Structure 1
Amino acid sequence: MDAFNNLMYGFGIALEPINIAYVFAGVFAGTIIGMLPGLGPISALP
């Protein structure tokens, strides 16, 4: 039962509004940066 409580605690932390906002901001920024020409994953490789 302790594992279930820890799992529910983790979901509680992950679903806080500030954490959801960080996720949406990261997805939005990643989408915008991904659309820029010349800044793809290949240019990040050494």
Structure 2
Amino acid sequence: MRENELSGVIIGCAMRVHTALGPGLLESAVPLRSKKYPPPQIQKQGFY
């Protein structure tokens, strides 16, 4: 996977989190959420 493709996947996932949870999410909650429920795109790409 090229750098541009990877950054596109990461930015897309971040935008979905922002849309679903809003802009006020505490930084401490982000790692907990991402480890418990990794996005399907990240799982599919083999990052988890």
Q: Same fold (TM over 0.5)?
A: no
TM-score (norm 2): 0.42
Q: Which has the larger radius of gyration?
A: 1
Greater helix content: 1
TM-score (norm 1): 0.43
